[in-house]
Amino acid sequence: GASTATVDPNTASDLSVASAAPAYDEEEQQNIAVYKRALPSVVNITSTEVQWNFFYGPVPQTGQGSGFILNKEGLILTNNHVIEGSQRGGSVEVTLSDKHKYKAAVVTVDRGHDLALLKIDAPNLVPATLAETSTGLMVGQRVYAIGNPFGLSGTMTRGIISAIRSIGSPANGNVIEDAIQTDASVNPGNSGGPLLNSRGEVIGITTLIAGNPGVDQSAGIGFAIPINTAKAVLDDFAKYGRIRRPTLDIVSLEIGPDQAGQIGLPADYGLLIERVLPGGAAEKAGLHGGTQRAYEGNFPVTLGGDLIVDFDQQEITNAQDLGNEMNKHRAGDTVTITVFRGRRKMDFKVILGDAKDTPQGPQT
């Protein structure tokens, strides 16, 4: 005869309780919510650069990175180093989360902040939600990175903010102020993608990793450009159609104790103005360049100019210090520059110039 199954009432009640319990705990639900909110805004970026082989034949080289959608009109933010190769006769292709591919135009770049704006023409785009500010971020705060590590699209990793610190960018040598350090696993291909808070808002742009290239790419130390820096760049673009980087319009020489002693300067450190560019910010403010030709090793230098020692009460000992302070400002801002002219200490009010309008030559 047919067998009859019997059910233990205790087991039955256990099963019904188990099936009524939520499938995911609170933490998992938050992870899933962040991913679902942010993923449609994250894009993969393939940059193609044309190089030439030994026989002068074109050899396309491709690199991959990430980015995120800013608006329904198709503006996309990424790192400049992700697409820089395409500027040499190459092209940029963007792949959306739904796998549709679009050719992208490079709208503008800000090499100083390692940022680039792209544009695609595509329907039904989902813009990312930018955090109101990256000021006040706390070490220990949970963060998420979504991007394209090693070409693995739609990858999310999670960690915390490990520190907020200034760090030199290997892409251009400039300092990233208030960079967000995280232990969320990031790898080649994550560059340009969003770093998100627990609400799925973009607080930074994943930019670089620490580790031994080719060995342990993810060493638990990644860095992101804070969203406040990106917003300043985007504001410039919205107002002026380009990025306005501030400049003093000077050519300068770093001074250390040795040079200061040899030249007889009143301070051991600073930036000696060799030349003020005609019509530039420094010249308009009354700062002086040098008049005496000399040599440092085999390099010709010009001595006798003003020695910059402070920028808005912040000590300036080298070009990096000045770069750090300049990064906090915009073209058109008024700042106080403190210099030694001979033995006399003087303050000058300087209206920062626009690097785009710099009359000639290299500048700071």
Return the closest-CA partner of residue 111 out of 204, 238, 245: 245
| Sole residue written with tokens 């002086």 | 288
Of residues 41, 113, 114, 306, which has the active-site annotation?
114
Both tokens of 135, joined, read 């000021």
- CA-to-CA dists, residue 288 to 95, 126, 152, 335, angstroms: 52, 52, 55, 17
- As a whole number of angstroms, the distance between CA 245 and CA 286 comes to 21
SS3 string, 226-252, reads EHHHHHHHHHHHHHHCCCCCEECCEEE
Residues, the chain, total? 364
Question: Is residue 191 among the annotated active site residues?
Answer: yes
Of residues 47, 185, 191, 218, which has the active-site annotation?
191
Question: Is residue 81 among the annotated active site residues?
Answer: yes
Question: Is residue 288 among the annotated active site residues?
Answer: no
- As a whole number of angstroms, the distance between CA 331 and CA 349 comes to 14
Catalytic residues: 81, 114, 191
